[in-house]
Amino acid sequence: MPITNAMVLAAGLGTRLRPITDTMPKPLVPVAGVPMINTVLDLLADAGVETAVVNVHHFADRMEAHLAERASPRILISDERDGLMNSGGGLARGLALLPDGPVLVMNADLFWIGETPGQPSNLERLADVFDPDIMDMALLCVRLEDTTGHNGKLDFSLADDGRLTRFAEGMANPVVYAGAIAMHTMLLDDAPNNAFNLNIYFDRAIEKGRLYGLVLEGHWLTVGTPEAIGDAEAVIARLLAKAG
């Protein structure tokens, strides 16, 4: 079954993208002519998401005005104008706006291209694989060779049964976290009210053997610097030409 609710983490300052983000929020920075958050929300809508919470802080008014133009998915705003909540605090505050149940979570500046037409998308596959009986979270992951714009850091080792552990030198099957999660809202019921990093919950899940991963199909793009925009656009143009 599809997961119909989602949260998009979009409140960050985008400091590495300065000077572009001195005049606009990072999620509205266009890549190949499309604001990054549009691409992310399109991926969610195509996967069956009907309602998405988006948190806002930097140029919050512009974000709200932009998001008000969308018809699908329905957008709810999680307002962080009073102070950034980091990834974990922002997620916990945003999930409070959604009913209890499974949810997809995405970063507003991480996306991919090159899925196989007519086959389940990466987000549909992630929703299908998530099993709350044995998992706290299922993370979409990607092989380093299938990334553009990434700094080379390897995040996890993926076991044959799908479990993730923190990567250390020499470990097999290294992967990069691709910025998408399937989880249940109740996982953060015990979250603090202040800012905190979501990595706390990754590590808790690893300790319990309840953090799982799924390898992304296609090519993953992250745009953290002005130079990375051109790199991403070159990859998109190349892959679109190859596909078409």
pLDDT in tens, 32-43: 999 999 999 999
pLDDT given for residue 162 in this prediction:
95
Task: Respond yes or no on whether the N-terminal peptide bond of residue 19 is cis (omega within 30° of 0).
Answer: yes
Q: Determine the 3-state secondary structure of 77 from DSSP.
A: strand
Residue range 141-166: average pLDDT?
A: 93
Look at the alpha carbons of 104, 134, 147, 176 in this order and tell me if their dihedral is positive or negative.
Answer: positive
CA separation for the pair 136, 141 (Å, rounded): 16
Candidates 100, 99, 14; CA nearest to 57 is: 14
Q: Looking at the DSSP assignment, which residues form a beta bridge with residue 157?
A: 165, 174
- How confident is residue 117, by pLDDT bands cut at 50, 70 and 90? confident
Q: Quote the radius of gyration of the chain (alpha carbons, Å).
A: 17
| Model pTM score | 0.93
Name the strand (E) or helix (H) holding 52: strand 51-56
Give 5-243's CATH code, choosing from 3.90.550.10, 3.40.1180.10, 3.40.50.300, 3.50.50.60.
3.90.550.10
pLDDT given for residue 136 in this prediction:
97
pLDDT at residue 129 greater than cutoff 90: yes
**What's the maximum distance between 2 C-alpha atoms anywhere in the chain?**
49
- How confident is residue 244, by pLDDT bands cut at 50, 70 and 90? low
Q: Are 180 and 105 in contact (CB under 8 A)?
A: yes
In this structure, the number of other CB atoms found within 10 A of the CB of residue 204 comes to 14
Name the H helices within the chain: 36-46, 60-67, 86-95, 122-129, 199-207, 226-243
pLDDT at residue 65 greater than cutoff 80: yes
What average pLDDT is seen over the chain? Answer: 93
